[in-house]
Amino acid sequence: MRDVDPELHELPELHALRAWNAGARPLTDEARHRARVRLFATMSERPSRPARLPRRGRLVPRIALAGAVAAAVTATLLVTTDEEGRPPGAPVPERMDYVSAVTVLDRAAARERRNGPRFAPRGDQFVYTRTVGVKEGSRERYVDENWYAVDPHRSDSWISEQGKGWWSGVLPKDNTLWPTSDWAELRTYPTDPDRLIKQINHYTSSAEKGPKDLDREEWAGLFHGFASLMWHVPVMPEGLKPAVYRAMSRIPGVKATRGVQDLRGRPGVGVFFPLSPRGSEAKPETFVFDEKTYEYLGRCQEWEGQRCVVGSYLETYGVTDEAKRRP
């Protein structure tokens, strides 16, 4: 039974809510980021002893904590139509439209678990992908066909980027690449999102920091690391792509907006991080998901209004016994 303030005849939390100044100036992006990082760190820590429930009557600290949590979550999940916090080239919603990036990515992960590729290629085979895109600057359309060697230490891969292709060469046994096409190595990647964040952070961060110690630009670098993985490894072993989506949803500051169209004009929801990695002049990438099914539709780098004009999408994929042979 909750305590009711005898003088107010209502719960103290409701009284605090009524007294809240809705016209107060909103938190800055930096303040929101710091709150979100503190929240992430607190959630990630394992308590040394069971937590105690607060004593009855100590309601103000709980209200303050709830406000901090709400501010942190709001800063992470929502994007508005104003200019603040929106990256250059990001889609501009036509109307005020809040959408949870966490919800979008979690539903995309659930869909991928149900409908994602389920094959186990042999070490002597190749994963074939056909990607269609539009170049930045020239706005020329290109088609990339790739044959990624399942075991790059055994066979050459044929790599194509924006219409230009080359043989990768067999990778020495003691060498590896990031991102890798080595199917056996990809199968070792953790499917727990928090562990996957730590692993990708190890590849993308020059400083050996744990996720809870990253600043905003380093979180941008981590998001870019996931983007690079999705771009270079569009088809992954079962369970890894859902983990990628769920891990991305845990990045403080990730945002989403409705009302966009992918490169093919399909309606969707765009998910992005509103900052480029430190030292990078590249535009922040946006991942577009179908607004109803949450199927991944492709990536976008440049927009005209809400329509993607520079980006790419995966058209088809499969497994072949030889490079340069289509399935």
C-alpha pair distances (Å), 266 with each of 59, 96, 112, 292, 311: 49, 21, 19, 11, 13
* CA torsion angle 271 277 283 285 (round to 10): -20
Q: What is the pTM of this model?
A: 0.71
* Domain residue ranges of the chain, discontinuous segments joined by +: 12-77, 101-320
pLDDT digits (tens, 9 = 90+) for 138-161: 999 999 999 999 999 999 999 999
The pLDDT tens digits of the residues spanning 164-177 come to 999 999 999 888 78
User: Which strand (E) or helix (H) includes residue 67?
Assistant: helix 59-77
Q: Report which of residues 262 and 33 the model is more confident about.
A: 262
Q: Which residue has the higher pLDDT, 33 or 52?
A: 33
CA distances in angstroms from 182 to 106, 150, 200, 311, 319, listed in the order given: 26, 6, 16, 25, 14
Indicate the angle between helix axes 59-77 and 12-19, nearest 10 degrees. Answer: 50
Contact 247, 196 (CB under 8 A): yes
Is residue 308 pLDDT above 80, yes or no?
Answer: yes
Alpha helices in 78-146 (DSSP H): 101-115
**pLDDT recorded at residue 5:** 44
